[in-house]
């Protein structure tokens, strides 16, 4: 059997990894500033994470949500502590798309309404409603198409006010990334998020903060949306949550009430995934990774701003993007194949940095040094 060929892949076979380093089958070492698409939060194969998973595996890996699973409660407690959202309620699932799908569904159940506001350049996943709220028609299948999603320009407060005036009483939710990832690292402005909060309150709609990529401390605060100083009704999470072990979740404000059967999943919240997620939070806390991400991120952003001809350096913490001019359009490939540094991209010309929150200052400096070397090559 062949694999269904949906991914354009780099011809590299990574066989092992540690911290921010990965090695291929020929034992070549790479610096990982991509984190497997923002997934590696505490570092590859962190010993505490490996230990927690191994110990859990020896006891029990899975049983269904029809029984008590105390490790879920332990995870909810720890997440409340580390995120500061102690009074929120946790629902666990397996991926970012599923988290958004459940959040949108819950908002619709809660309000009894159908319409959703989403924004230009958004990415919310590939399940039916999540993809309908994603601003990329090429990944929306005919069956996913719906009139229920209203797209507005990102960071445009006037357009948001207008849409609420027109559709406010039909709106179930506004879904917004705190920092757009796939869209090219665009930070949601404070006033824009304040306006979402204000309008959702006025019209009884649910504010959904898609924190799948920008959450879990990556921005230098636990949820990047919170830099605006207001809270969302639902935060969705996935990537950094398990450090590579598949797990997703939504945290839900106390104003939204649960009802048996309204949401559900077979695998979500299984023992093994919870052990991985607990290990992540324990390490984030013990190693002060959120403050660390903020510090290393500041160094990277400041250094990038001084490198010509790069431009538009933006982001928060260790979620950074910059524009690469046309004459350097092979830069990302050169970084990977000549300098063995993984970075991310966003079409058409953005390089995205999404490293582990534990990226060391030395590794950050190594990257800047080799990025400069890679750029110099073009100037010869």
Ligand X SMILES: Cc1ncc(COP(=O)(O)O)c(C=O)c1O
Which of residues 238 and 316 has its CB atom nearest to ligand X in the complex? 238
Q: Which phi and psi angles does 377 have, rounded to 5°?
A: -55, -35
Torsion of CA 279, 285, 287, 290, to 10 degrees: 110
Q: How many CA atoms lie within 13 A of 79 on its CB side?
A: 32
CB of 165 to ligand X, least distance (A): 28
Which of residues 136 and 148 has its CB atom nearest to ligand X in the complex? 136
CB of 206 to ligand X, least distance (A): 17
CB of 263 to ligand X, least distance (A): 16
Q: How is residue 164 written in tokens?
A: 């609420």
Q: What is the 3-state secondary structure (H, E, C) of the chain?
A: CCCCCCCCCCCCCEEEEEECEEEECCCCEEEECCHHHHCCCCCECCHHHHHHHHHHHHHCCCCCCCCCCHHHHHHHHHHHHHHCCCCCEEEEECCHHHHHHHHHHHHHHHHCCCEEEEECCCCCCCCHHHHHCCCCHHHCCHHHCCCCEEEECCCCHHHHHHHHHHHHHHEEEEEEECEECCCCCEECCHHHHHHHHHHHHHHCCEEEEECCCCCCCCCCCCCHHHHHCCCCCEEEECHHHCCCCCCEEEEECCCCCCCCCCCCCCCCCCHHHHHHHHHHHHHHHHCCHHHHHHHHHHHHHHHHHCCCCCEEEEEECCEEEEECCHHHCCHHHHHHHCCCEECEEECCCEEEECCCCCCCHHHHHHHHHHHHHHHHHHHC
CB of 210 to ligand X, least distance (A): 5
CB of 268 to ligand X, least distance (A): 13
Which of residues 38 and 371 has its CB atom nearest to ligand X in the complex? 38
Which of residues 76 and 185 has its CB atom nearest to ligand X in the complex? 185
CB of 179 to ligand X, least distance (A): 9
CB of 95 to ligand X, least distance (A): 4
Which of residues 186 and 328 has its CB atom nearest to ligand X in the complex? 186
Tell me which residue has its CB nearest to ligand X.
Answer: 96
Look up tokens 């590579």; give the residue. 244
Q: Is the Cβ–Cβ distance between 320 and 353 less than 8 Å?
A: yes
Which of residues 113 and 124 has its CB atom nearest to ligand X in the complex? 124
Which of residues 189 and 287 has its CB atom nearest to ligand X in the complex? 189
CB of 250 to ligand X, least distance (A): 12
Which of residues 111 and 134 has its CB atom nearest to ligand X in the complex? 134
CB of 71 to ligand X, least distance (A): 22
What is the contact surface with ligand X in residues (CB under 6 A)?
95-97, 100, 123-125, 177, 181-182, 210, 212-213, 238
The angle formed by the CA atoms of residues 214, 218 and 223, to the nearest 5 degrees, is: 60
Which of residues 96 and 297 has its CB atom nearest to ligand X in the complex? 96
């Amino acid at each position: 059997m062949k694999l269904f060929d949906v991914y354009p892949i780099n011809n590299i076979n990574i066989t092992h990894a540690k911290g921010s380093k990965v090695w291929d089958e020929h034992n070549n070492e790479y610096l990982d500033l991509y984190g497997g698409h923002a997934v590696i939060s505490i570092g590859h194969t962190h010993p505490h994470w490996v230990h927690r998973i191994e110990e859990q595996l020896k006891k029990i890996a899975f049983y269904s949500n029809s029984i008590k699973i105390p490790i879920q409660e332990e995870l909810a407690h720890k997440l409340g502590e580390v995120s500061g959202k102690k009074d929120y309620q946790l629902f666990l699932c397996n991926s970012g798309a599923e988290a958004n799908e459940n959040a949108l569904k819950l908002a619709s159940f809660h309000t009894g309404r159908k319409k959703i506001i989403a924004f230009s350049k958004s990415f919310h996943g590939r399940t039916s409603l999540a993809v309908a709220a994603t601003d990329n028609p090429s990944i929306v299948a005919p069956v996913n198409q719906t009139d229920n999603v209203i797209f507005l320009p990102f960071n445009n407060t006037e357009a948001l006010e207008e849409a609420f005036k027109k559709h406010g009483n039909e709106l179930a939710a506004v879904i917004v990334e705190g920092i757009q990832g796939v869209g090219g690292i665009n930070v949601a402005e404070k006033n824009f998020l304040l306006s979402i909060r204000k309008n959702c309150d006025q019209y009884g709609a649910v504010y959904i903060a898609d924190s799948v990529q920008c959450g879990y401390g990556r921005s230098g605060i636990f949820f990047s949306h919170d830099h605006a100083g207001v809270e969302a009704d639902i935060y969705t999470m996935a990537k950094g949550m398990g450090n590579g072990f598949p797990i997703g979740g939504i945290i839900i404000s106390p104003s939204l009430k649960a009802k048996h059967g309204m949401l559900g999943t077979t695998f979500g919240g299984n023992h093994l995934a919870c052990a991985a997620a607990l290990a992540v939070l324990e390490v984030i806390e013990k190693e002060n990774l959120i403050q660390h991400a903020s510090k290393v991120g500041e160094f990277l952003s400041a250094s990038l701003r001084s490198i010509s001809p790069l431009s538009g350096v933006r982001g928060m913490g260790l979620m950074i993007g910059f524009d690469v001019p046309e004459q350097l359009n092979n830069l990302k490939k050169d970084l990977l194949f000549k300098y063995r540094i993984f970075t991310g991209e966003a079409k058409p010309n953005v390089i995205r940095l999404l490293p582990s929150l534990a990226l060391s200052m030395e590794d950050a400096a190594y990257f800047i040094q080799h990025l400069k070397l890679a750029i110099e090559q073009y100037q010869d």
